[in-house]
Structure 1
């Protein structure tokens, strides 16, 4: 009888294994807010991020992954698979667009496509997409709408219904809350929907300003940033030299480049220790250095807190015995921010920096460190504004774990990748309207080998900043009146040597293609039937 029992047990295990193998993967997208390219330990940073480092060690890191330089355009591109202008979520002339734009009928979110394919779909965190999450294909949504408070958020919703303000000051962070709701959704999934695969979109608001973090976390870094952004930037660069980033030299910090938007009155409240330029560290007074080091320490604490929260989510997935069946994708919505302003509850100089009564921004000095080894910040489409760390993990489905992929990729590629792994076809028609082909490409082959796409074209425009990459060549311009710059990214991703004067014909060719694509995205946004 024992041998019969053993055979039956083997058959049961075999059938479960076949079922698991044939079932599409669970999918988790984790999006950070204003995280710099090299802030993570696994991307050369000094910040402790053991959970994400472990995902990278057992997965893939992408060295040339791009976003759109701003939060809401990136979220639109990430969830639809289209450039944000195509779906009216960045500026388009002649139509309501940008942060208040409404997507055309033909542009569903990936959650809607997966929901129709038997996935249970969950959202937790920042939204910043048009419509309500539960009307956009999510079965459950925790929506954090208060972007001015990390320790005591006032405006948040569960399935579109308002929740009471958070009052547990000192015990709560936005990252902890976002993770807790994501975990609750997964627990409910395990209890009631375990036969369905799940899609979880977890959108942290950290480390976006204001700089808020528990004092215990800040103390982990209290002395770490006393060296200042200049020395720490070189330290990151030295750790990154073995990574495939294609830099022949580290670009100089642009000392005169301040925040993208001017709020001069904010400096009266911020006090004399604040600076709005990434000046040489040794030019600051001792009190200014202490102030700036503390800000960078708070930023680091927020990143570590987010990493800890991600660890709690990963533990829940493991407790469900689903980790090996789950594709995890981590990235940031834009580069670190050089913005400086005061919102929310204002800023009290006398209060502890990082507490709920302060409102501080990282600023262009700390942002220059976070975006190492690239130039510029959020809103610009130079590499510092659009380059994101990107980690993908799926146990058993990556041929060479702990490796890099250098193929240029973009947030528009996430939807095609997810749909292919989930065996879901992109619709040709949605709500009675024909759907244009997606501009992105699936990255599924990257899980088996390094792929090369020498002719890959990628396009950007935000706040009159514009760029276009074809293969290794990139043109980029800041502002409507600024001329195109040209860089060979095969050796100069730091965008140090402008080759526009040397190759004017190449500039003109790429500029014409950029304009042709801009017109195409405008047609998508304006000419198609609602």
Structure 2
């Protein structure tokens, strides 16, 4: 498969000096909610959800209605950081929760943060990492100057315990647990980072990586769930629908309050007009969320972790008051496009070849996105979207073909009606998989039998621990 080459013009006065000394060099605040479905906020149709600050960004910015992430956390973050499909990093599921040596190797897969850092940007990430637990995978090794957050997929919002009976809160490379509701801590450190960067007269990229609305479901006033002795993964199975909605809304409010604090800080410091704010989510809402809060994933079928649109279609808002007004776009966009877009917007050159393309022309002028196929794979399924057509290929060799223009809910399987199209799209998937996995730990495997979770469970069934593969070198 051919990847695009990012070859953007260098900064007029030389990348490093220009970035460090020009106060008008644009800033970026990228806010990533966790497990928030397509309609998880009011402006995307979330019934009964109060999100006034996020809604303000949507009312005055560009609202994308055809944006797809992956269906899981770690793969989305790999795509975000590298501009490539996660399979190029040998990832077909989340990074292991039980093997700390499973992660994104910065020496092999450098992130966009390193490129921005080299161009004079100050980079900060507040919150969730989920790209490896060992110190070698630490965000500071990936080009981030500042990090306050946690390594794994989720932590208790109050005690900060992860599912492995450990407190998981860090200040850079040091474990530094501190009291506080996680979303409030993320909000605090985000504002602090902006103030410090402006005081230093340095352009900045801030990645606000939320814990909400991932399980455990805990609002600011709800009790702790996890301790050193007891660390259940979730707490929402027995919640009534009414209780679930109340907690969900409390969690969204804490995130929305943080968006408001960030906005007001940018405005107070006089840098709002020179800052791009993006709000989005890493994947669709969970199936329990869809059951207890119907409509969380909009009108889409399915949920997080699955092959259908409910697992990957997410809100995406682009607010840049200096140039862009309010409009909606239905152009097909993908999480692999963020990395080239960030660099394009910041005027930073990079010659690495990536799968994604810059969204900047579409955002600035409304120009159509280039025609291309968008792929996805995870342990158990593969999909490809080609124009209006989507093929779903699952573990038991079930094939489903949908026309997303006429059947956005994916209710009518047209595979038997269009066998030649099915054949061609299956061939597209196989060629993409072979290309992406070449030289990785996935090479020679299929998406149906790869991933640390599958291998670990196979080991358990055999009564022996499975040997999990190491990161690609």
**TM exceeding 0.5:** yes
Q: Taking structure 2 as the reference length, what is the TM-score of the superposition? A: 0.79
Shift of residue 90 of structure 1?
Answer: 2.6
Residue range with higher mean Cα deviation, 140-149 or 64-73: 140-149
Shift of residue 117 of structure 1?
Answer: 0.7
Tell me what 1:293 maps to. Answer: 242
Q: Taking structure 1 as the reference length, what is the TM-score of the superposition? A: 0.71
CA distance in 2, matches of 1:391, 1:397: 15
Tell me what 2:189 maps to. Answer: 181
Gap regions ≥5 residues in structure 1:
1-18, 167-171, 217-265, 275-287, 339-361, 429-436
Larger Rg: 1
Shift of residue 462 of structure 1?
Answer: 1.1
**Of 432, 446, 452, the match for 2:368:** 452
CA distance in 2, matches of 1:105, 1:270: 38
Shift of residue 270 of structure 1?
Answer: 7.3
Residues 186 and 317, structure 1, Cα contact 8 Å, conserved in 2: yes
CA distance in 2, matches of 1:99, 1:317: 38
Residues 368 and 375, structure 1, Cα contact 8 Å, conserved in 2: no
Tell me what 2:203 maps to. Answer: 197
Tell me what 1:214 maps to. Answer: 220
Tell me what 2:429 maps to. Answer: 514
Residue range with higher mean Cα deviation, 36-45 or 384-393: 36-45
Give the alignment of 1:289-328 within 5 angstroms.
291-328=240-277
Residues 30 and 331, structure 1, Cα contact 8 Å, conserved in 2: yes
Shift of residue 376 of structure 1?
Answer: 0.8
Shift of residue 20 of structure 1?
Answer: 10
Q: CA 1:491 to 1:204, structure 2 compared with 1: closer, same or farther past 3 Å?
A: same
**Of 158, 170, 175, the match for 2:171:** 158
CA distance in 1, matches of 2:370, 2:389: 10
Tell me what 1:244 maps to. Answer: none
> Match of 2:183, SS?
helix
Tell me what 1:384 maps to. Answer: 310
Shift of residue 316 of structure 1?
Answer: 1.4
> Match of 1:296, SS?
helix
Shift of residue 104 of structure 1?
Answer: 6.8
Q: CA 1:99 to 1:445, structure 2 compared with 1: closer, same or farther past 3 Å?
A: farther
Tell me what 2:351 maps to. Answer: 427
Over the aligned positions, Cα root-mean-square deviation in angstroms equals 2.9
Spell out, residue by residue over 1:156-188, the C-alpha distance to the aligned partner (whole angstroms, 9 max, x if none): 11112111342xxxxx42111111011112222
Spell out, residue by residue over 1:186-217, the C-alpha distance to the aligned partner (whole angstroms, 9 max, x if none): 222122x21x210001100001011101359x
> Match of 1:448, SS?
helix
Q: CA 1:101 to 1:132, structure 2 compared with 1: closer, same or farther past 3 Å?
A: closer
Matched, 1:148 2:64: no
Tell me what 2:379 maps to. Answer: 463
CA distance in 2, matches of 1:21, 1:449: 25
Shift of residue 99 of structure 1?
Answer: 9.3
> Match of 1:124, SS?
strand
Matched, 1:114 2:148: no
Residues 34 and 283, structure 2, Cα contact 8 Å, conserved in 1: yes
Q: CA 1:42 to 1:524, structure 2 compared with 1: closer, same or farther past 3 Å?
A: farther
CA distance in 1, matches of 2:333, 2:57: 19
CA distance in 1, matches of 2:173, 2:235: 36
Residues 178 and 202, structure 1, Cα contact 8 Å, conserved in 2: yes
Tell me what 1:395 maps to. Answer: 321
Spell out, residue by residue over 1:434-469, the C-alpha distance to the aligned partner (whole angstroms, 9 max, x if none): xxx211111111223333347321000012122100
**Of 365, 371, 391, the match for 2:291:** 365
Q: CA 1:363 to 1:27, structure 2 compared with 1: closer, same or farther past 3 Å?
A: closer
CA distance in 2, matches of 1:148, 1:453: 38
> Match of 1:28, SS?
strand
Tell me what 1:230 maps to. Answer: none
Spell out, residue by residue over 1:222-252, the C-alpha distance to the aligned partner (whole angstroms, 9 max, x if none): xxxxxxxxxxxxxxxxxxxxxxxxxxxxxxx
Residues 317 and 323, structure 1, Cα contact 8 Å, conserved in 2: yes
Spell out, residue by residue over 1:361-403, the C-alpha distance to the aligned partner (whole angstroms, 9 max, x if none): x4451365211210111001210000000001111221xx221
> Match of 1:298, SS?
helix
Tell me what 1:483 maps to. Answer: 398
CA distance in 1, matches of 2:330, 2:110: 30
Matched, 1:443 2:443: no
CA distance in 2, matches of 1:390, 1:164: 32
Q: CA 1:99 to 1:519, structure 2 compared with 1: closer, same or farther past 3 Å?
A: farther
Shift of residue 483 of structure 1?
Answer: 1.3
Spell out, residue by residue over 1:299-349, the C-alpha distance to the aligned partner (whole angstroms, 9 max, x if none): 1221121111111112112222111000111110110012xxxxxxxxxxx
Q: CA 1:270 to 1:417, structure 2 compared with 1: closer, same or farther past 3 Å?
A: closer
Q: CA 1:20 to 1:443, structure 2 compared with 1: closer, same or farther past 3 Å?
A: farther
CA distance in 2, matches of 1:149, 1:505: 50
Residues 88 and 101, structure 1, Cα contact 8 Å, conserved in 2: no
> Match of 2:285, SS?
coil
Q: CA 1:119 to 1:52, structure 2 compared with 1: closer, same or farther past 3 Å?
A: same
Aligned residues: 402
Residues 55 and 393, structure 1, Cα contact 8 Å, conserved in 2: yes
Residues 74 and 93, structure 2, Cα contact 8 Å, conserved in 1: no
CA distance in 1, matches of 2:356, 2:439: 15
Residues 379 and 463, structure 1, Cα contact 8 Å, conserved in 2: no
Matched, 1:133 2:49: no
Residues 454 and 472, structure 1, Cα contact 8 Å, conserved in 2: no
CA distance in 1, matches of 2:186, 2:357: 30
Tell me what 1:35 maps to. Answer: 36
